[in-house]
Chains A and B, each alone.
Chain A
């Protein structure tokens, strides 16, 4: 007895539905797009600007005390509260109840909040000052 190999061909269950991949290349003159195999993903600014979403806040700059650091009035600052405020970082702090942006510095053991504009005085942090570090600025968003 001989057996013949065969394949049963069945119709698709829902012939009126033909799923297509979302990023199908346009076929121009019969040639597939050479970029077809390279579709990866879109660039997401969040990925670039936000390391830790739960700790990231956006605040709006007011005043010109930090012009030298490239922070202009109305710029949006990206603030990561989870980062450690070390000397040299630009920080947001609550100074006597008011939120302010300055560069944290330590000169000869003395902590300071420095403005980056000669028109503004630096603030020496004495014990009687009511000061809480609020977060560390990571990025300035400035429209041109």
Chain B
């Protein structure tokens, strides 16, 4: 039996989330901005039609915003996470196996589920999701994940599909592949596209007609697998259980330039706290801490400076205080006065399970000058903060939060705060 994999992908997800509670914005141009209201991270169709690209800074499109009365929103991640969980929960009703691929996409394994009429089943999925959540989705189907992705791309691009496309049939597949550029294939980035173009491979069909051995020899195993997947031979498994993150990054752009060591230090302490919380949530410890600071790359008038520093720990930790102490040592090493810092962050790598052997002994801590690992204390802190958000923090995070990123256009917390429910007349 041929496999049937589905990619369900929400349309303009962040914009769609905002529109569920603001039906007046349906059909109007809407943009969602990144952290600190800096860049465009989601666009409605009307905005895409204006030629506004993903990732452009707000100040570059300010004129278009005024001219077309584009509605701007700050990123509202608690809303998007809530809506995402709802979408995934509806999708789960349709397939025995599901992989949540990102906040707005999931792979479903429908092998043997809907042999008679997969497209009709796809339309049922689509209707159920939009009805229950208000979020429109497109459904791409095929015998492999790569083909399901390609089908989804086409379903989004061509309205005639009605938002559902099945690429199980090789004839239909060829027709589509001949008109889609190879860069649209899942996993084929801009550099790979360049290399493929040099080899005379321009359309998806050009790539699919190659022998995977040749592609393996000329490029690499990843692209060779893609060739097989494009021909309906599954190489990528559905991953039902999310793997623990291999590294954690907590960083932010500041609402104003920071010039003082103690300001950066307080911000870093907060990022360390957040990273440590995430670390403990996935029951990991980190063996390596990186701190980075930089000035604004957009403003070339200011003196530019950026540095990062990394310290490998003798023994892995998950203690907020150890992370903060280490981050401070690293900051001392790279901080220079005379610059206006726009961003800093902390990255934890070499993550491993907290039950892995080789944990720190008491006297190691004493020798290193670091606080003793105190798991019960950290667990207690996490529990309190879960019930009373931000109730307990390590003092190093400070009280002055004026560096916090801007989120001036964030929508009400429609689904997470009783005081901010949407009103109905």
A23-58 CB mask vs B (1 if < 8 Å, else 0) is 000000000000000000000000000001111011
Residue in chain A with minimal CB distance to B24: A97
> In the complex, A96 Cα to B131 Cα: how many Å?
19
Residue of A nearest to B25 (CB): A97
Residues of A within 8 A of B132 (CB): 52, 54-55, 81-82
Residues of chain B within 8 A of A53, CB atoms compared: 86, 89
Contacts A52-B132, A98-B23; is A62 near B421 (CB within 8 Å)?
no
**Which B residues are CB-close (under 8 A) to A101?**
424-425
B422 / chain A contacts, CB cutoff of 8 Å: 57, 59-60, 99
- Interface residue? A94 (CB, 8 A): yes
Q: Is the CB of A55 within 8 A of B23?
A: no
Q: Mark B8-27, 1 if CB is under 8 A from A, else 0.
A: 00000000000001011110
- Which residues B117-175 have CB closer than 8 A to chain A? 128, 131-134
Contact of A63 among B23, B90, B425 (CB under 8 A): B425
Residue ID in chain B nearest A60 by CB atoms: B421
A97 in contact with B23 given A54-B132, A55-B132 (CB within 8 Å): yes
Known A54-B132, A57-B415; contact A62-B89, beta-carbon cutoff 8 A? no
With A54-B90, A57-B415, A81-B132 known to touch, is A132 a contact of B23 (CB < 8 Å)?
A: yes
Q: Return the CB mask of A59-77 against B: 1 if under 8 Å, else 0.
A: 1111101000000000011
Cβ–Cβ < 8 Å partners of B389 in chain A: none
Are B133 and A54 closer than 8 Å at their CB atoms? yes
From residue A135, how far is it (CB to closest CB) to chain B in Å? 9
Could you mark each residue 84-99 of chain A with 1 if its beta carbon is under 8 Å from any beta carbon of chain B, else 0?
A: 0000000010100111
Given A97-B26, A98-B23, A81–B424 Cβ distance below 8 Å?
no
Chain B CB within 8 A of A100 CB:
yes
Chain B residues, Cβ within 8 Å of A55: 86, 90, 131-133
* Inter-chain contacts of B338 with A (CB < 8 A): none
B423 at the interface (CB under 8 A from A): yes
Q: Which residue of chain A is the closest to B93 with respect to CB atoms?
A: A54
Q: Can you list, as one digit per residue, whether each of B73-115 has a CB less than 8 Å from chain A (1) or not (0)?
A: 0000000000001110110000000000000000000000000
Contact in complex: A81, B133 (CB < 8 Å): yes
Q: Is chain B's interface secondary structure helix, strand, loop, or mixed overall?
A: helix
Cβ–Cβ contact B89 & A54, under 8 A: yes
Q: Which residue of A lies closest to B87 (CB)?
A: A54
Cα distance A134–B20 in the bound complex, in angstroms: 9
Is the pair B424, A99 in contact by a Cβ cutoff of 8 Å? yes
The one of A65, A81, A92, A100 that contacts B131, using a Cβ cutoff of 8 Å: A81
27 A–B contacts, CB within 8 A, in A order: A53-B86, A54-B132, A54-B133, A55-B90, A55-B133, A57-B415, A58-B421, A59-B423, A59-B424, A61-B423, A62-B423, A63-B425, A65-B425, A77-B424, A81-B131, A82-B132, A92-B424, A94-B26, A97-B24, A98-B24, A99-B423, A99-B424, A100-B424, A100-B425, A101-B424, A132-B23, A134-B134
A97 contacts across to B, CB distance below 8 A: 23-26
Bound complex: CA A94 to CA B25 (Å): 11
Interface size on A, residues (CB 8 A): 25
**B-side interface residues, number (CB < 8 Å):** 23
> Complex formed: what's the CA distance from A65 to B424 in Å?
11
Contacts of B21 in A (CB 8 A): 99
Q: How far is the CB of A128 from chain B (nearest CB, A)?
A: 15
**Bound-complex Cα distance A61 to B425 (A):** 6
Report the minimum CB–CB distance from B326 to chain A (whole Å).
Answer: 36
Closest Cβ of chain A: how far from B414's Cβ, in Å?
Answer: 8
Cβ-defined partner of A82 (8 Å) among B23, B131, B414:
B131
- Taking the nearest CB of chain B, how far is it from the CB of A38, in angstroms? 30
User: Chain B, 40-72, contact with A by CB distance < 8 Å: what is the 0/1 string?
Assistant: 000000000000000000000000000000000
Task: List chain B residues, Cβ under 8 A from A100.
Answer: 424-425
Cross-chain contact A99 with B23 (CB below 8 angstroms): yes
Contacts of B25 on A, CB cut-off 8 Å? 97
CA distance A57 to B416 in the complex (A): 10
Question: Which residues from 23 to 40 on chain B have a C-beta closer than 8 Å to any C-beta of chain A?
Answer: 23-26
- Nearest B residue (CB) for A58: B421
Nearest-neighbour CB distance to chain B for A46, whole angstroms, equals: 14
When A and B form their complex, which 9 residue pairs have the shortest distance between CB atoms, in order from nearest?
A97-B24, A94-B23, A55-B132, A54-B89, A54-B86, A60-B421, A62-B423, A99-B424, A82-B132
CB distance from A14 to the nearest CB of B (A): 18
Among residues 368 to 424 in chain B, which have CB atoms less than 8 Å away from a CB atom of chain A?
414-415, 418, 421-424
| Cβ–Cβ < 8 Å partners of B24 in chain A | 94, 97-98
Contact B421 A59 (CB under 8 A): yes
B residues in contact with A54, CB < 8 Å? 85-87, 89-90, 132-133
- Within A115-142, the residues touching B (CB, 8 Å) are 132, 134
Contact A60 B424 (CB under 8 A): yes
